[in-house]
């Protein structure tokens, strides 16, 4: 290995450690097997999809590339406790830093499998969780139907559906799920 490569690798690893350290509470939550279950992880992902999720569909078959869709969402970075003066709290009206995630088509399939298994495993007396899971599965099915329809139009050669990008926001507003 060359010295440049080792230095570059060390820098990348260092950056990863900084990111992990800045978000240690989230990492601990993800890695805590005894505190969270598959259902908890699925519910956390669902919550963030409803809060900040957006679907991006890219039709690029004309360029000999695979058409695809992905779902992006973000979570607020958990800020460490710092001592602030009254002057700082009044002047500091910044929005919290957001960490962005993208779910590829394979990740979405994994999430659907998680939801499906959770749906079967959820106790009969937890109707609320079943309703949430059913709603999320229906949403993902709707997204896949939209993608499928657009892909069929692309494959049929429709001129309006070549090299096209679509963006749909998913969010919960006033208790309603909507796709814009």
Q: What is the pLDDT of residues 64-79, one digit of tens each?
A: 999 999 999 988 776 5
Residues contacting 44, CB < 8 A, separation 6+: 36
At 100 the three-state DSSP class reads strand
Residues contacting 73, CB < 8 A, separation 6+: 48, 49, 51, 52, 53, 54, 100, 101, 103
Q: What is the pLDDT of residues 125-145, one digit of tens each?
A: 577 777 888 888 999 999 999
Say whether pTM exceeds 0.75.
Answer: no
């Amino acid at each position: 290995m060359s010295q440049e490569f080792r230095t570059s690798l060390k820098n990348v690893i260092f950056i990863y450690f900084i990111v992990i350290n800045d978000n240690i509470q989230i990492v601990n939550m993800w890695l805590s097997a005894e505190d969270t279950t598959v259902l908890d992880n699925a519910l956390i992902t669902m919550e963030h999809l409803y809060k900040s999720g957006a679907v991006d569909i890219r039709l690029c078959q004309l360029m000999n590339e695979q058409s695809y869709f992905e779902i992006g969402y973000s979570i607020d970075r958990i800020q460490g406790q710092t001592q602030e003066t009254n002057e700082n709290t009044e002047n500091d009206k910044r929005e919290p830093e957001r960490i962005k995630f993208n779910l590829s088509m394979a990740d979405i399939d994994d999430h659907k499998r998680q939801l499906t298994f959770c749906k079967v495993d959820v106790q009969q007396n937890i109707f609320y969780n079943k309703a949430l899971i059913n709603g999320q599965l229906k949403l993902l099915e709707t997204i896949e139907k939209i993608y499928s329809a657009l892909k069929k139009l692309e494959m049929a050669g429709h001129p309006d559906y070549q090299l096209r990008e679509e963006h749909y926001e998913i969010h919960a507003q006033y208790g309603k799920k909507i796709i814009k």
